[in-house]
Structures are given as structure tokens and as C-alpha cells.
Amino acid sequence: MKKSVWLLSALSVLVCLTGCQDKGVKIGVSAPISGDIAALGQSTKNAVLLAQEEINAKGGITIGGTKQKVTFIIEDDENKPEAAATVFQKLINQDKVAAIIGSQSSKCSNAGAPIAEAAGIPQISPWSTNPNVTKDKRFVFRACFIDPFQGKAVAGFARGKMKAGTAAVLYDVASDYNKGIAEVFRNEFTKAGGKIVGFETYNTNDKDFSAQLSKIKGAAPDVLFLPNYFNDVPLQVQQARKLGMTCKFIGSDGWDNQELIKMGGKDMEGTYFSNHYSPDVDRPASKKFIASYAKKYNTQVDAAAALTYDSVYLLVNAMEKAGKLDSKAIRDALAGTKNFDGVTGVITYNGSGDPIKGAVMIRVENGKFVFDSAVN
Amino acid sequence: MLATAIQQLLNAAQLGAVYALIALGYTMVYGTIRLINFAHGDIFMLGGFIGFLLVAIIPGLPVAAMIPLAMLLTAMIGVLIERVAYRKLRNAQRMSLVITALGVGIFLENLVRILVGPQARQIPAQLPNKVLRLANGVVITEDKLLVILISLSLMVILWIFVNKTLLGTAMRAVADNRDAVQLMGVNLNLIIATTFAVGSALAAAGGIFFGQAYSIDPYMGIDLGWKAFIAAVIGGIGSIEGAVIGSFLLAGVEVLTVAYLSSNLKNGIAFGLLIILLLIRPNGIMGRAALKKV
Amino acid sequence: MAEHQGKTPLNFRNVAIATFIVAALVQFLGSVGLFNNYYLHILTVIGINIILVASLNLVNGYLGEFALGHAGFMAVGAYVAALIALKLHLPVLLRIPVSLAGGALAAGVIGYLVGRVTFKTVGDYLAIITLGFNMIIVNAIQNIDYLGGPRGLTAIPKGTDLATVALCTVLSYWILRNLVDSVYGRMWLCIRENAIAGELIGIDVNRVKNLAFTVAATFAGLAGGLYAGYQQFITPKSFDYLKTTDILVMLYLGGMGSLSGSILGVVAYTLLMELLRNILGLIAPQLADLRMLLSPLILVFIMLTRQYGLMGNREWRWLMPDRKQTGGEGA
């Protein structure tokens, strides 16, 4: 017993001693580095490190006339809410960060938000679409549009440009991102005069969707909406094609990753999805980021990376505008952001933590994501 | 109506074959040393990634060479894991071993994530994967037909191996009474190592087929491992034909729930039915009664 | 009572009181900014996890079964407590005890019903059935919009702080300890060692087993309620089999059949994970990635060097009731 007590005390002392004190601006990042959406965590990390390199190459962030180097402290939240809560506590109280970027999944952002709010530390979540994340919170922001906007955009596109009379949906019932958009789509598509003929679900980590797809095939929809992540979508489209389904496919911003084409190949041709931005649109901010990201990591930008990158610069912009590292001043500057020229579009915060920004529809053509139309 | 029903049965057969590929290796280890090998799903994943890397490193490697090579490498890793992480605990209480297996599983997942990356991958299709069109729009792809045939033939081969060969007889003897087997002068370490080698090799083959027909990612072994565990228990502990029957049954219940009840409640209904089944047959479908509690 | 225990101040009652006073003090210091809230958070999480792990120890350790559904009962407790807190609009002093009691009670009732069904089987079949119930509970919550579906419930009123958790942990521990030391505890051990022999000496095996199961589920529900009130946000995925495996790891790391081990297992595992996070980040940020690679290695290493976990079937004497008073000297 003595030994174990000694061991525990030694461990506790070590935990207490390791709080390090650096100079400069510290920004915390909570990301799913391991766990079931580790691929998104990788993109987050890439974008953050690229931004850190760029900012420090210019001498740092200009705060009140002096340049200060920035350090990002990236912590792994394992895509588990309780781990995210621990990460937020550590970043705020141990590392004394000025603000937090994160997390990607809504469930982790939701676990962190009350902590950031109580501590008065600004939080920007790149890609948490759940409306509750920012609801009734002053210090919590996001860089993406929320489900209602995107679901409506896609439903309008399916009814309008694709002239679909009937639609079916297949989505991950265990994930709030997928379920949120699926339900908005169902309502909006019906409201626009269309008919939903299939509304099927699967569970995260399923790889075989043939049962659901066979059922949908029986209902013969004009279009199949797949509001799911890029690692599932190619399997769904491939399996649907192999079952002999002839309908069109449409998706949401979860599709935005080159893996979609790498895995899906020819089967993805002619599909559409809504996204935050398009590499085709001639915007200097997008072009520059896409080029430097490709150069540094030898891979293409995805939605997670682009939104993270925008979150970082939204924050840096607010810090420079605030002129001091006071968290309340940063929060006020962030909330007052107008016409910020980001990678994923022009961003304005209008009182709440949800940005006002447009969406684009992307077409997959010859193995590339091609701009189709803009939705505002 | 009928066409959809037949299609759904084919879908269930495909899914069942995938479960069976994992459950077969699972039940071998499980039957021999009663280890709930939570790392088995991760060995399945590892086998798939070894196949993926082999294709990536040696371009043009024919599938007939890649599969045996990946099976061999994975078998070696399986034996290594047993030697390093399990052997010392063989006579400890059973649950210590279960936790060690969990640890090994988490280690493998994160090792592959760090070395290969977290993205989902597909092994470039080298197996025939044309779509076969049957009557009335019912379809099946060649690779999935192949997976069904392979898992059934593996079952037969494994059954012959376990029931008709000397090594297999020794394995069954170890399962029945480990101490007595040792008194008879059988090399226990050799038998258990063989079990792990065969189980891991099977998992590798499964992982490669899976990676061609679907996709592989570092964390896929968790869910599939649980499914295999469930299939093996439902079929009856340590029974090879039971593992296959359990796999097809689990897949059948899942697919038919989606097809005729509700995809939302797939897990709930599927597990509800399986629980009822276990209450009717408390030792699994092919299991022997009067299990000695450990 | 005190005069019998006399000799050493290190006895359960003193430690329990001290724990509660220190927790309340630390909570106060933390809320005024004099104590690092990160450590406060870790202590709170440790407290909640001790209740979870110690209660599962009744079934998996003392009774020797292999239940795999503890997170499911935690989910029941968390959701019921959250609903009470969200919908009933009680004053705060009433809200906290009512929501916690409601969560624990609901989990206990479900646990009793599940136990009735489950104990028709043993061993790995029991494992599958409990795992199945866990999955059914999570799947059901995902499909009930009133409970927020996969989005979960947000903005749950803050109902838990370190002082509340410490009080609940100490009380739970006291009850569990006395149960284990009671005649029921002996019966559980007897069933674990030889169920048939137990039956022959007149133990109502199913009833006694179900008692352990129900008590374990009740405390899992309490832990769930504490979790919901502390995190202020719950989602069905927080209670899936990954959570169950986390609980199992801490349980077996600490050692089966040892309540002291349950404390040690939780503390050691939590500190290990946080220590890795801090040390690796301190050495070099790039190494942070290795955390999830090193922690399972350390876990395997500990299991290999200490086969029965850190405290398997042993107890810290001072945490157990005084033998002279209970008179229950068995061996």
C-alpha cells in the first residue's frame, strides 16, 4: 500500500509541475487527433501548423503595436465529449491560452462550450454545425454555416436545377451532423413540392449499406441525398451503382475531401454537393491557401482544413483589432467582424456566434471538384 | 416484391460472409484458450493494411502472391503478440488477459493511424468485381460472391483441420483440459502459437477481401471485433460451424430489420432478437450445455 | 464507535470526513480562482469514475460475472437526471438531490429488470446480453427526439461540483463497502468460487446475483446523474461500448474484488493519461501524438507485471469496517 501511495503522490506532483510558461500569444486547439474521425483531426492539425508558420514568418501577431509570436497548443480530444472537457480545462487553466479553436465534432464543441463560456475565453469551432453549440453563449463562435441553411440550399438545388420530383435520404443516425441536415432536407424538399420516398439510416462505422440501398432502389427516387462524411459516401455511391440504381446523387460539405474521388473514382462522376467554397472561384484568399497547403502537405485542402484555417485568421484578425490580449476585448472584436475575407468566403458575425456566409454547389467532373453555382 | 426480398437475402449473405471471416479466427483463439481476444478485430484491420501496403510498395504484385504474403506477415505478428503480451498471463485470471487484449488492440489502432494515416483506404481491386445481373434486377458483384465462397470454404478447411488432423485434435484437447494435455507431453506453447498463427492469417485474408469490397481504416476493427464476438457467442463458444451460423444469423437479422422493420432501430431490434435467442438457447446455437464457469 | 477504532486516525470515517472537507475547500478555492480549475476538473472526473468502477466491481469482481453494459445504466441515470433538472424547474437545493436520486432510481429499476433476464445465462452469454442492452439503450435514445436524438441534451443546469461529487463518492463507497462486508458479500464470493456449492448451502443464487446487479446499476445511474450535472451536456454516444471499455480498463487495472483497487485504478489511469498529455507536450509538441500509443503499452506492462491488477483481492485495511464491531470474521 505504501508503495502505491508514494507512486500516486509522485504522479500528482509531476502533473502539477508540468504547467509550462512561455512568452507570446498562446492559442489552444482541441481536435480529434485519434479516434473515429482522426482524418478530420489530421486536417485541423495541418491547417493550424501552416497558419502558425505563416504568422511567425511575418514576425507574429501585431498586438498594440508590438509583434508577438504565436504558439498553438494542439490537444487530442479523441472525439469524446469528456476528453474534450478535459482538454478545454487544461488549455484554459494550465496553458492559459488566449482563445481556443475547436473542436470539430459538435458533441466535443458542446462539451467544451460551457467551460469556455464560464471562463470567458473565446472559442471558435471550425465545423460544428449543431445549432446548440453557440446558442445563448457570448464567447462561442463557429466558422461554418449551420444545418438549416445548408439543408435548404441542397433541397432547393435538387428541386430546381436537378428537377427532382422524388428524393430519398440515407444518413448516419448516430451522428448529429448527418441527422440535422437530413431532417432539414426532408422538410425543405417537401415544402418545395417534392416527395420524399425513402428516409433510411445506418450507424457510424457501417461499411455495408446494401440493405438500405436495396430498399431505396425499390422506391426509385430521382435523387439520393447522402449528407455523410467523405469516408462513407464513396462506398454508398459504389454500392448503389452496383445495385443498378440510376438516380442522381447529391451531398453536403462532409464530402469535401480528395479521398472522395480517390476512393470513389468514376462512380462519383456527375454527383453534386454543397460546400463552403470552391477552388475555381477566383478569390485570392482561397487560391493562396490551396497552393501553400498543397505545397506543404502534398495533398489537397478539405473543408475541415479550410474552416480551421479561417477560424485561426478570424481570431488573429480579432486580436489585432482588439489591440490587447484581453479575452473580453478579443470576444468583442470577433463579434464585430465584418466582411472578413476568408478562404471559405466572406464572413460577417451579426450579433450571434453564427456567421453569415454563402454556400456553393460543387460538381464532380473528370475527377475534380468543379464550381457549379452559388447559393446565398 | 420478390426481387427485393431475394436481393435482401443476398445482401445478408454478403454481410454474413464478412462477419464470418472475422468470427472464424476469433472462435479459434476463443475456443482454444477461452480468451475474448478484443484485439482480433484490430488484427483483421492490420491484415488489411499490410495487404494495402504490399500493393503500394511493390507495384504489380499479383493478388495470388499478395494474399499469402500478407497472411504470413500477419500470422507472425499474431504469434508475436501472443508471445509478448498473452503468454505470461495464460494461467492468470481470465479477465486480466481480456484487458491486455484491449490494450493490444488500442496500440495497434494507433500504430496504424500514426504510420499509415487516419484516412479510410481501399485496396485497389485485383479480384474480379464485375456486377452479375440475375433475373428481375437482382444483382451481386463477383468480389462479394467470392467473399461468400471463400468464407464458406475456409470454414470447411478449418473444420477439417480442427477435427481431422493431429494438430487440430491437440487444439481441441487444449480447449477441453489444458493440464491433462500437458501431462500427455504435448507442447502447449506450440499448439497455442499455431492457433494464433492460423487465426491471424485468417483475419488477414478477411481484411484484404474487406479492403477490396469495402474500405479499411485504423479504427474499423473495434466494431467488427464486437460483431465477431457476438457472432461467435451466438453460434456457440469454440464451435467453428457455430461461428459461421452465428455470423449469417447476425447479418440476416440486421439486414431484415433494415428491410422490413426500421433502419433507425437496426441495432436495437437486432440485439433484442439476439437476446431472446440467447434466452431460449442459453448456450448458443451449436454450444454444449453445462459450461464450467471460469 | 470512535473509542473502539482508537489507535490510528487513519480509518474510514476520518478519511471520509477529511475527503469531503478538502473537496469543499478546493471547490471554493477553485471557484474564486485560487486553485487551478484543470486539477479541479480531474478530481471531479476521478470522483465520478470511482463510483462507476467500484459499483461495477460488485458484479465483475465480487460476483465474478462479466457484465459489459455499465455505460448503458449510466446513460439511463444521466438522461433521467438531466430531464428532471431541465423540466421540473425546482429550486437548486432541491433540484440536485432530486435529479440525482431520480437518475439512480431509474437506473436501478432498469438494472433490476435487465438482471432478471440476464441471470438466466452465465459467462460470455451474460456478457453479450449486457452488451446488447447497452446498445439497445443507446440506439433507443438516438431515436427519441424528445431526448435530443444524436444531438443530445444541452444547457443542463449546473448541478454538480467537486463537493457534491465527493459527498456522493464517499457515501457510495461507504454503502458498497458495507455491502461487500455483509452476508451478501460473502454470498457473492461464494457464488463466484462455486455457484453449485452456494446453491447447496441454501443461497438463492438468482436473487442474490440480481441484488449485486441492481445495486451496481443504481450507482452507475448516480454517476450518470453526476456526469450530466457536471458536463451540462450529454449525448448518447458518450455512453456506448467505448465508455464501457474505459470503465473495464480502470476496473481491471485496479484489480477485481477490491474496492481499494477501484480507487487506485481510477486515480492511476486518469493521472497516467493526463501525465502523458502534459509530459509529451512539454518535451515536444510533435510527441503528443504518441500518447494513445504509449498508454496501452503501459497498461499491458502493468497487467503483465501485476496479474491481478494493482490491488486484486486485497484491501487497504483502513477502508474496511472494523472487524471487532461487525463480528463478521469469516476466515
The tens digit of pLDDT for each residue in A227-259 reads: 999 889 999 999 999 888 999 999 998 898 888
State whether A208 and B14 contact (CB < 8 Å): yes
Strand, coil or helix: A271: coil
**Closest residue in chain B to residue A237, using alpha carbons only:** B214
Measured distance CA(A66)–CA(A69) in Å, rounded: 10
A220 inside 8 A of chain B by CB: no
Note the pLDDT tens digit of each residue in B191-232. Answer: 999 999 999 998 998 899 888 888 999 999 988 888 888 888
State whether C39 and A15 contact (CB < 8 Å): yes
Read off the pLDDT of each residue in A354-360 and give the average, rounded to a whole number: 87
A20 inside 8 A of chain C by CB: yes
Whether A52 contacts A71, CB under 8 Å: yes
The shortest C-alpha distance from C97 to chain B (Å) reads: 32
Mean pLDDT, all residues of chain A? 89
Assign B109 a pLDDT band (cuts: 50, 70, 90). Answer: very high
State whether B210 and A263 contact (CB < 8 Å): no
A209 inside 8 A of chain B by CB: no
Which range is most confident: B280-284, C8-12, C157-161, C320-324? C157-161
Chains that touch C (3 or more CB pairs under 8 A): A, B
**Chain A residues inside the 8 Å CB shell of C310:** 4
Read off the pLDDT of each residue in B276-294 and give the average, rounded to a whole number: 68
Please enumerate in sequence order all residues whose Cβ is within 8 A of that of A136, keeping only pairs 6 or more positions apart, or say none: C155
A73 inside 8 A of chain C by CB: yes
User: How crowded is residue C63: how many other Cβ atoms within 10 Å of its Cβ?
Assistant: 25
State whether C282 and A20 contact (CB < 8 Å): yes
Mean pLDDT, all residues of chain C? 88
Q: What is the pLDDT of residue A262?
A: 87
Assign A176 a pLDDT band (cuts: 50, 70, 90). Answer: confident
Size of chain B, expressed as the number of residues it contains: 294
**Closest residue in chain C to residue A136, using alpha carbons only:** C155
The shortest C-alpha distance from B146 to chain C (Å) reads: 30
- Compare C284 and C263 and report the one with higher pLDDT: C263
Task: Establish how many alpha carbons lie within 13 A of residue B118's alpha carbon, considering only the half-sphere containing its beta carbon.
Answer: 18
Measured distance CA(C162)–CA(A293) in Å, rounded: 45
State whether C238 and A81 contact (CB < 8 Å): yes
Strand, coil or helix: B238: coil
A183 inside 8 A of chain B by CB: no
Note the pLDDT tens digit of each residue in A66-91. Answer: 899 999 999 999 989 999 999 999 99
B121 inside 8 A of chain A by CB: yes
Note the pLDDT tens digit of each residue in C46-102. Answer: 999 999 999 999 999 999 888 989 999 999 999 999 999 999 888 888 899 999 999
Q: Which amino acid, one-letter code, is at C211?
A: L
Q: What is the pLDDT of residue A248?
A: 94
The shortest C-alpha distance from C268 to chain A (Å) reads: 7
State whether C307 and B89 contact (CB < 8 Å): yes
Q: What is the pLDDT of residue A11?
A: 61
Question: In this structure, what C-alpha cell is assigned to residue A50?
Answer: 501552416
Adjacent-strand bridge partners of A125 = A142
Strand, coil or helix: C190: helix
Whether pLDDT at A166 is above 50 = yes
**Chain A residues inside the 8 Å CB shell of C311:** 4
* Interface with A, mutate which of B119, B133, B217, B250 (most A CBs under 10 A): B119
| Segment (H or E) for B106 | helix B94-116
The shortest C-alpha distance from A108 to chain B (Å) reads: 19
Whether C266 contacts C188, CB under 8 Å: no
Q: List Cα–Cα distances, A183 to A151, A152, C139, C144, C268, in angstroms.
A: 8, 10, 18, 14, 44
Measured distance CA(C158)–CA(C233) in Å, rounded: 10
State whether A4 and C264 contact (CB < 8 Å): yes
Measured distance CA(B105)–CA(B89) in Å, rounded: 16
State whether A211 and B137 contact (CB < 8 Å): no
Measured distance CA(B28)–CA(B251) in Å, rounded: 20
**Chain C residues inside the 8 Å CB shell of B107:** 293, 296-297, 300
State whether A207 and B214 contact (CB < 8 Å): yes
* Interface with A, mutate which of B266, B267, B269, B271 (most A CBs under 10 A): B266
Which range is most confident: B42-51, C158-167, C201-210? B42-51
Note the pLDDT tens digit of each residue in A274-323. Answer: 988 887 777 888 889 999 999 999 888 888 999 999 999 999 999 999 98
Four-CA torsion C131, C135, C137, C142, nearest 10 degrees = 170
Mean pLDDT, all residues of chain B? 86
Measured distance CA(C171)–CA(C165) in Å, rounded: 10
Cβ contacts below 8 Å, chain B against chain C, sum to 129
The shortest C-alpha distance from B255 to chain A (Å) reads: 6
Assign C323 a pLDDT band (cuts: 50, 70, 90). Answer: low
Which range is most confident: B259-263, C61-65, C142-146, C216-220? C216-220
Measured distance CA(A181)–CA(A202) in Å, rounded: 15
Q: What is the pLDDT of residue C16?
A: 87
Note the pLDDT tens digit of each residue in A43-71. Answer: 999 999 999 999 999 999 998 888 999 99
User: How crowded is residue A296: how many other Cβ atoms within 10 Å of its Cβ?
Assistant: 13
**Closest residue in chain A to residue B227, using alpha carbons only:** A206
* Interface with B, mutate which of C53, C136, C311 (most B CBs under 10 A): C136
Q: What is the pLDDT of residue C325?
A: 47
**Chain B residues inside the 8 Å CB shell of C59:** none
Whether pLDDT at B294 is above 60 = no
**Chain B residues inside the 8 Å CB shell of C117:** 275, 279
Q: What is the DSSP letter of B260?
A: I
For B42: left if phi > 0, alpha if psi spans -120 to 50, otherwise beta; the answer is alpha
Q: Give phi and psi for B179, each to the nearest 5.
A: -65, -45
Q: List Cα–Cα distances, B229 to B57, B86, B105, B247, C56, in angstroms.
A: 33, 18, 14, 10, 21
